Amino acid sequence: MEPGKLGVWYYLDGMRANIATATAQRIEALGYSTLWIPESTGRNPFAHAGWLLANTTRLNIATGIASIYHREAGVTLAGQQTLAELSDDRFLLGLGVSHQIMVEGIRNREYAKPLATMRAYLQAMDAAPYTARRPAVPPARVIAALGPKMLELARDTCAGAHPFFTSVEHTAIARKILGPNKWLCVEQRVLLDANADTARTTARAVAQRHLALPNYRNNWLSLGFNEADLANGGSDRFIDATCAWGSVDKIKERIAAQYAAGASHVCLHPLNPNGRIGDLHWPVLEQLSDLA
């Protein structure tokens, strides 16, 4: 499989099953190559991916990301192999270490050192038995990677990396570490709203949830932002770095900048100008589909 140049990253968990199916089919009809679905406390992403794959014909489905704390490595391998084989290689496994508050606070598991834990998990996947019919082509995997060491692990053990909640500057750093040939699938928030005040307010509401998580905060601090930039949902400078808002042409400039910095695939994360989180804004995807 190839993730293609342009995909969509979106939570479908709040939608009824028939609406989620119709959403995937509409994204496919618009020409986007890959739909990325996350995992938190909602649907099982493997079961969900299987349903979406069964109800589409060309669209890749990727987990962005599936938590390594939610299932044993051999179970993940079996899920990956099964979905890739049944869908004719349209499934992309994205894995991540999640966050301490999710792992310990919700799942009641010990959150260990992220790098060592991910490395051991990937090794366990590689060593796990799988005796069913395998896909014709070994399925690919990517990992959620922000820091240099995790990016190096992505380079050495995976098809590439899937950074979430980053910037063009981070993309350039990641590409340098990954080298020229690995996939770099970056999430990019997009918001079709040319009013600076309302656009930044909408983007802050989404950023606020992620800025409470140390993994993301530490990454932003390493990129030169300070605590003031990360307070109250983020400074204007911070919001402008993380969210491409404005006209369609301005958003296209950001997408082009991501490619120029080294992204091989951009996952559009559409925000809605109405401010309602979870309400997909189709106009932005429709007006950017000519890039797909």
Please state the rounded mean pLDDT for residues 165-180.
98
Instruction: Go through the chain and tell me how many residues it has.
Output: 292
Q: What is the C-alpha to C-alpha distance for residues 61 and 76, in angstroms, rounded to an integer?
A: 15
CATH superfamily of 6-291: Luciferase-like domain (3.20.20.30)
C-alpha dist (Å) from residue 273 to 193, 270, 284: 6, 10, 10
User: What's the CA angle centered on 285, arms 283 and 286, to 5 degrees?
Assistant: 60
Residue 224, number of CB atoms within 10 A of its CB: 8
193-244 residue pLDDT tens: 999 999 999 999 999 989 999 999 999 999 999 999 999 999 999 999 999 9
Q: What is the C-alpha to C-alpha distance for residues 22 and 25, in angstroms, rounded to an integer?
A: 5
Instruction: Note the pLDDT of residue 106.
Output: 87
* Residue boundaries of the structural domains of the chain: 6-291
Q: What is the C-alpha to C-alpha distance for residues 28 and 179, in angstroms, rounded to an integer?
A: 30
Residue 19, number of CB atoms within 10 A of its CB: 12
C-alpha dist (Å) from residue 284 to 27, 200, 204, 262: 12, 16, 19, 23
Q: Is the dihedral of CA 124, 116, 186, 231 positive or negative?
A: positive
Residue 169: pLDDT band by 50, 70, 90 thresholds?
very high
Instruction: Note the pLDDT of residue 100.
Output: 86
31-81 residue pLDDT tens: 999 999 999 999 999 999 999 999 999 999 999 999 999 999 999 999 999
Q: What is the C-alpha to C-alpha distance for residues 41 and 86, in angstroms, rounded to an integer?
A: 26
Percent of the chain with pLDDT over 70: 99
72-103 residue pLDDT tens: 999 999 999 999 999 999 999 999 999 988 88
Q: What is the C-alpha to C-alpha distance for residues 239 and 217, in angstroms, rounded to an integer?
A: 14
Quote the tokens at residue 274: 């109405």
pLDDT of 184 above 90:
yes
Q: What is the C-alpha to C-alpha distance for residues 184 and 181, in angstroms, rounded to an integer?
A: 9
267-284 residue pLDDT tens: 999 999 987 666 899 999
